[in-house]
């Protein structure tokens, strides 16, 4: 039992799973919060576990499902194509159709290469920029995640209460992995300018989440234009990692903030819930991966890159993402953030607040505003865990660390119920203080 929720069948699966799958509660992603609960069906804003309990999804597949689960138009597109094939190991029509849709929505993209995951897409982007510029290093922001390849993981091992300038290697990473990385502090323009100038001659690229994913910290006014300007000044390839933020507008965060990168990496938010990703951008940079133009191209993908069903699902979801859908995502996000902030004010808890953009939000318990990543590290993780476990007890499924992804299938009542849990938990925290 979990509170008043029966999880007998889930518990049996858990016990079988731990005999076969490494990692304690057998999950496929270390930040998922599902613990001993196993799911078998999903529809709209809801998940249903093997014991028949309904949960409101606050994970959204890390933004892979901005329209919710089992979207009819996506499901039908996949079902219709299954009459043709479920895997084609060569060129196919859906990938061409998807490339046209992406180029129409994201004007900075002139050419594309497809992959099977955003990890491969970001790796290709950095390698392509290295080949294009002849410079060995890339810059990234402390705390930003760009996939699980070794160098990209450097600078992601910082946790709450830590010194952001003290970097630690993650388990299994080679000691030299940080040698090709220059670390930058997000939203700290003067410090970024100094560091980039010091390393400009060896920097081939700068990769950034337009909205920093750990904490969902929006860019300060002028920060993204500054990155565009300084990259132009030093001949550095500017890469926007829009794996998550592509769902903020038809053209992603680059449309929302009016800044055009040289390369864009995409994954979950374009995927329709199936494994597919892409790198796109200026034709002359992307040409380094074009085997018809160079003898030894930068290798972009893998055996399942541009999977036919992934292309079908991605095209269907992107085309279903109408202006009304984006407006609804922003409306829901504003409702949730404003509600959390109002609860903090009402209870005299100024350290309780939310940040984010659109459907992406992060709940903070922090004595100072989370404007920079260094600010964000001041969050009280024990308090944040109290909120996460309260969501879980009330059958709202969070990611962990206060991170929330809403979806357009949610109702106002779904968000209000979520806010009721926030308020009750905050009142309990106040009572204990």
Question: Cα angle vertex 264, ends 263, 269, to 5°?
Answer: 175
> In this predicted model, what pLDDT tens digit does every residue of 344-371 receive, in sequence order?
999 999 999 999 999 999 999 999 999 9
E-assigned strand segments in 193-351: 203-208, 237-241, 263-266, 277-281
Structural domain includes residue 220: yes
Domain boundary (270, 289, 320) is at: 320
Residue 164's nearest CA partner among 183, 146, 140, 145 is: 183
What pLDDT does residue 6 have?
73
List phi, psi (to 5°) of 291.
Answer: -65, -15
What pLDDT does residue 27 have?
60
**Judgement on whether residues 344 and 363 belong to the same structural domain of the protein:** yes
- Residue by residue, DSSP assigns 345-397 as HHTT-TTEEEEEETTEEEEEE-SS--SSHHHHTTS-HHHHHHHHHHHHHTTEE
Which parts of 258-322 fold into alpha helices (H)? 283-286, 308-320
**Judgement on whether residues 341 and 316 belong to the same structural domain of the protein:** no
| Rounded Cα–Cα distance for residues 269 and 288 (Å) | 26
> In this predicted model, what pLDDT tens digit does every residue of 134-170 receive, in sequence order?
999 999 999 999 998 999 988 886 677 777 666 666 7
Q: Is 156 helix (H, G, I), strand (E, B) or coil?
A: coil
- A 10 A CB-CB count for 375 gives 18
Residue 44's nearest CA partner among 28, 31, 61, 56 is: 56
The dihedral over CA atoms of 193, 196, 201, 203, expressed in degrees to the nearest 10, equals -140
**Judgement on whether residues 300 and 157 belong to the same structural domain of the protein:** yes
Which residue numbers in the chain have pLDDT < 50? 1-2
What pLDDT does residue 1 have?
39
| Tally of structural domains, the chain | 2
- A 10 A CB-CB count for 1 gives 8
Report the number of secondary-structure helices (H) and strands (E) in the chain.
Answer: 15, 14
230: alpha, beta or left? (left if phi > 0; alpha if psi -120 to 50) = alpha
Residue 127's nearest CA partner among 145, 152, 99, 103 is: 152
Domain boundaries, position 165: 72-320
Structure tokens at 184: 């930058």
Question: Cα angle vertex 300, ends 179, 181, to 5°?
Answer: 15
**Judgement on whether residues 281 and 342 belong to the same structural domain of the protein:** no
**Judgement on whether residues 78 and 96 belong to the same structural domain of the protein:** yes
Look at the block and give the residue holding tokens 């030093």: 234
Structural domain includes residue 3: no
Structural domain includes residue 129: yes
Structure tokens at 149: 């390849």
**Judgement on whether residues 210 and 278 belong to the same structural domain of the protein:** yes
Structural domain includes residue 2: no
What pLDDT does residue 147 have?
93
The secondary structure element, H or E, covering residue 99 is: helix 93-105
The secondary structure element, H or E, covering residue 403 is: strand 403-405
| Rounded Cα–Cα distance for residues 1 and 13 (Å) | 14
**Judgement on whether residues 55 and 17 belong to the same structural domain of the protein:** yes
**Judgement on whether residues 55 and 76 belong to the same structural domain of the protein:** no
> How far is Cα of residue 317 from the mean position of the Cα atoms in its chain?
17
* Eight-state DSSP code of residue 187: T
Judge whether 207 and 146 are in contact, CB under 8 Å. Answer: yes
Q: Residue 337: CB partners within 8 Å, gap ≥ 6?
A: 354, 355, 356, 361
| Rounded Cα–Cα distance for residues 367 and 380 (Å) | 9
Structure tokens at 147: 């996939």
**Judgement on whether residues 214 and 332 belong to the same structural domain of the protein:** no
What's the pTM value of the predicted model, to 2 decimals?
0.94
**Judgement on whether residues 142 and 225 belong to the same structural domain of the protein:** yes
What pLDDT does residue 102 have?
98
Q: What is the CATH number of the domain that holds 302?
A: 3.40.640.10
| Rounded Cα–Cα distance for residues 368 and 350 (Å) | 9
What pLDDT does residue 35 have?
61
Domain boundary (290, 320, 350) is at: 320
Domain boundary (263, 291, 320) is at: 320
Look at the block and give the residue holding tokens 């799973």: 17
**Judgement on whether residues 184 and 254 belong to the same structural domain of the protein:** yes
| Rounded Cα–Cα distance for residues 69 and 409 (Å) | 8
What pLDDT does residue 28 have?
59
What pLDDT does residue 65 have?
97
């Amino acid at each position: 039992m979990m509170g008043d929720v029966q999880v007998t069948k889930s518990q049996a699966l858990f016990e079988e799973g731990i005999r076969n799958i490494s990692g304690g509660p057998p999950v496929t992603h270390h930040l998922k919060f599902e613990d001993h609960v196993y799911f078998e069906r999903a529809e709209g804003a809801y998940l249903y576990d093997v014991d028949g309990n309904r949960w409101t999804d606050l994970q959204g597949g890390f933004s892979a499902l901005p329209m919710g689960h089992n979207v009819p138009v996506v499901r039908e597109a996949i079902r219709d194509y299954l009459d043709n094939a479920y895997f084609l190991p060569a060129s196919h029509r859906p990938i061409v159709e998807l490339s046209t849709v992406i180029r129409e929505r994201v004007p900075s993209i002139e050419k594309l290469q497809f992959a099977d995951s955003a990890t491969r897409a970001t790796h290709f982007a950095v390698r392509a920029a290295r080949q294009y510029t002849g410079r060995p290093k890339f810059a990234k922001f402390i705390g930003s995640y760009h996939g699980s390849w070794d160098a990209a993981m450097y600078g992601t091992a910082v946790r709450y209460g830590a010194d952001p300038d003290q970097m630690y290697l993650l388990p299994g990473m080679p000691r030299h992995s940080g040698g090709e990385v220059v670390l930058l502090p997000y939203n700290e323009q003067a410090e970024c300018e100094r560091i980039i100038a010091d390393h400009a001659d060896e920097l081939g690229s700068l990769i950034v989440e337009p909205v920093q994913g750990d904490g969902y910290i929006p860019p300060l006014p002028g920060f993204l234009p500054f990155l565009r300007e300084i990259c132009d000044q030093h001949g550095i390839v500017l890469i926007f990692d829009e794996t998550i933020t592509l769902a903020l507008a038809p053209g992603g965060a680059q449309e929302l903030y009016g800044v055009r990168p040289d390369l864009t990496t995409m994954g979950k938010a374009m995927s329709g819930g199936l494994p597919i990703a892409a790198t796109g951008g200026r034709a002359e940079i992307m040409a380094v991966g074009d085997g018809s133009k160079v003898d030894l191209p930068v290798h972009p993908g893998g055996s399942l890159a541009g999977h036919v069903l992934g292309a079908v699902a991605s095209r269907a979801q992107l085309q279903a993402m109408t202006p009304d859908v984006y407006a609804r995502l922003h409306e829901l996000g504003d409702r949730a953030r404003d509600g959390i902030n109002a609860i903090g004010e009402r209870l005299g808890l100024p350290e309780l607040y939310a940040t984010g953009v659109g459907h992406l939000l992060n709940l903070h318990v922090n004595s100072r505003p989370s404007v920079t990543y260094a600010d964000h590290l001041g969050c009280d993780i024990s308090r944040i865990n109290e909120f996460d476990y309260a969501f879980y007890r009330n059958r709202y499924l969070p990611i962990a660390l206060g991170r929330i992804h809403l979806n357009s299938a949610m109702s106002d009542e779904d968000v209000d119920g979520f806010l009721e849990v926030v308020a009750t938990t905050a009142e309990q925290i106040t009572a204990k203080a």
